Amino acid sequence: MAKPLVAIVGRPNVGKSMLFNKLCGQRLSIVEDTPGVTRDRLYAECEWAGRSFTIVDTGGIEPRNDSEILQFMRAQAEIAIENADVIVLVCDIRTGVTAADEDVARLLQRSGKPVVLAVNKADGVGAHALNADIYEFYNLGLGDPIGISAIHGIGLDDMLEACVEHFPEAQEEEENDDVIRVAIIGKPNVGKSSLVNRILGEERVIVSNMAGTTRDAVDSYFENEQGKYCFIDTAGMRKKSRVNDRVEQFSVLRATMAIDRADVCLILIDAHEGVTEQDTKVAGLAHDAGKASIIVVNKWDDIEKDDKTMKRMTDEIRQDLSYMTYAPVLFISALTGQRVQKLFGLINRVHEMSLLRIRTGVLNSVLAEATTRVQPPTDRGRRLKIFYMTQAGVQPPTFVCFCNEAKLFHFSYQRYLENQIRSTFALEGTPIRMVIRERNEKEAEK
């Protein structure tokens, strides 16, 4: 189930980025006293009152300014609004209600989404003045304004409580435990919607060769003799937007939300173009999220090839996506259906591997054999000692190594152990996480 999404919006320079940073507990967003510093959306995970949710920081909305960059920032904010469960409109108590605030408020009212009105910079205003000044914001027609100070954290409890009230009901995973959620991700115009249509056997999703035809993520349920699946088709960008480098930025942000809900990611690559910089970004999102993944090269029917073309392109993919050597590569044609049926077996396989649990005794037998074959590294006379290893979780398989000194656990040796685990248990299609914990020898003996 996807986490609720809270979008922070407002005109430029009202303190949106400062609020975002305060909520996520780190300085992710650039904060400067200059309007328009935040241009793209930033996402971060938060938790409040036992509910996990995602917050998104947006560039300032200037409805009456038609400069090119502000048009783009406005479009970014509008997409965040479309996808949000709750919107936090940030205003500035020191400037009062401006014409731009009124325009943004009307935009939010038309969206039909729940809106929490946060009046920022209330820390330097006296209590009596605050009461008087904040009444003005009732004119925006968005309900009770909440006075906050993003820089000092004042009023954020009330603001977050108001947000949580609008979240969808928290539910346990439903009876669809046996349904594998598959996100089809990739840059625009690689054939994501065409693949969904080929799988479904009908024109369930609009298909066009214009990048950006798909506006929102679409869930399509499909069942065959190999299992039950929910395919999540992700958007590139809006139809009305220009098809240029900005398309790429929208696709990454759309893919992020689909990846969060997925069990398996199909990373689509255009056979004509090979792996582009944007492909590496999209694939990196799936890898960083720990999702089981398959690299799917589409439009293979349209490529002139000889008996070495497939191997040559596989080698190029392995080189360009060197951090995803675990992901199988499949060459397909969504247009003709070539090898599309093979996807289901691969999806089942990588999903099964992402859920694999290995008993501690078996895992430590592999560890003992690996450390005998290649001795742990030393540094200035100190040798790394690995006491034992245990599995801490799945999706992705996560292993905790207890050792004498974490700083001795060099990355290359960690990679070596990962490869030993992967080869022993045939962990295809899923990343592996390793967590290093220090423990002294007396504790390890207990």
CATH 3.40.50.300 correct for 5-165: yes
- Looking at domain 360-445, which CATH architecture does it have? 2-Layer Sandwich (3.30)
* pLDDT score for 414: 92
Determine whether domain 176-354 maps to CATH 3.40.630.10. no
Q: Contact, 339 vs 330, CB < 8 A?
A: yes
Q: What is the pLDDT of residue 177?
A: 62
Question: Model-level pTM?
Answer: 0.63
Between 339 and 216, residue with greater pLDDT:
339
Helix (H, G, I), strand (E, B) or coil at 190: coil
H or E stretch at 89: strand 86-92
pLDDT single digits (tens) 250-297 = 455 566 777 888 999 999 999 999 999 888 988 998 999 999 999 999
Task: Examine domains 176-354 and 360-445 and report if their fold is the same.
Answer: no
From its phi and psi, is residue 35 left (phi > 0), alpha (psi between -120 and 50) or beta?
beta
Burial of 43 (0-12, 13-18, 19+ CB in 10 A): middle
pLDDT score recorded for residue 40: 42
pLDDT score for 299: 94
Q: What is the mean pLDDT of residues 114-136?
A: 76
Domain residue spans in the chain? 5-165, 176-354, 360-445
Tokens of 264: 């398996």
3-state class (DSSP) for residue 142:
coil
pLDDT tens figures, 413-432: 999 999 999 999 989 999 99
Q: What count of residues does the chain have?
A: 446
- CA–CA separation, 67 vs 392, rounded Å? 51
- Alpha-carbon torsion (294, 299, 305, 307), positive or negative: positive
pLDDT at residue 230 tops 60: yes
